[in-house]
Structure 1
């Protein structure tokens, strides 16, 4: 298979609360509209590491498990703004194989929200 099966992940404000509790990252930009906008953000944003974790999950599932991912990296390029409603926002993850040998595959991964890239220079290497 030369392309990852496209995956979508919905992120709500409730997810941000759960992630904050699990990660210990209680920065108010992840839950307070007032604080987020006061520092120049367009609104409450998802934790960057949560966004990266969702992308990693898509790659792990495609590769056949977390033990198959041998390298993973990305740059945070745009925040994921999470509205204060029950529907949240959708993060899309796609990717394709860019190189392959007998033991590994290199992947280029795209992570977008509303058609805008939120993680850049994302690549992964998985064990075949």
Structure 2
């Protein structure tokens, strides 16, 4: 079963808020010069923030369900411009499994490029 695509706009303000909440103050997430000095194309979103937004999509598709597992690989950075924001799109396919569980395969992209590899979740409704 295909799940409706969820779009999340990520701004630099979101990265500052996430840094404060998580304690991850790595300057590649806030300082353009530092990010470029280490070979990145610009300031990038925290990988765990990107993953959290994908998990938020799963929760919106299955309200009240228990998320038993969620995992992925970080494959490409989400570059966040200084002005405005960038859209992260999360699409999903759900397959009922045994014991009332549902396996969810996700596709997480930014600008048409996959940013999370093999993102998957298992939920119990």
Same topology, TM > 0.5: yes
Determine which of 102, 109, 116 is the counterpart of 2:106: 109
> Matches of 1:44 and 1:93 in 2, distance apart?
21
The RMSD of aligned alpha carbons is 1.1
- TM-score norm. by structure 2 comes to 0.95
The answer to which structure has the higher strand fraction is: 2
Residue 72 of structure 2 is aligned to residue 68 of structure 1: no
Determine which of 53, 76, 82 is the counterpart of 2:80: 82
- TM-score norm. by structure 1 comes to 0.93
User: Aligned residues, how many?
Assistant: 125
Runs of 4+ in 1 over 3 A off after TM superposition: none
Residue 4 of structure 1: SS of its match in structure 2? strand
Gaps of 5+ in 1: none
Gaps of 5+ in 2: none
| 1:39-79 CA distance string (max 9 Å, x none) | 000000000000000000000111113x5211110000000
Residue 25 of structure 2 is aligned to residue 26 of structure 1: yes
Q: Which position in structure 1 is the counterpart of 2:116?
A: 119
Residue 53 of structure 1: SS of its match in structure 2? helix
> How far off its partner does 1:100 sit?
2.6
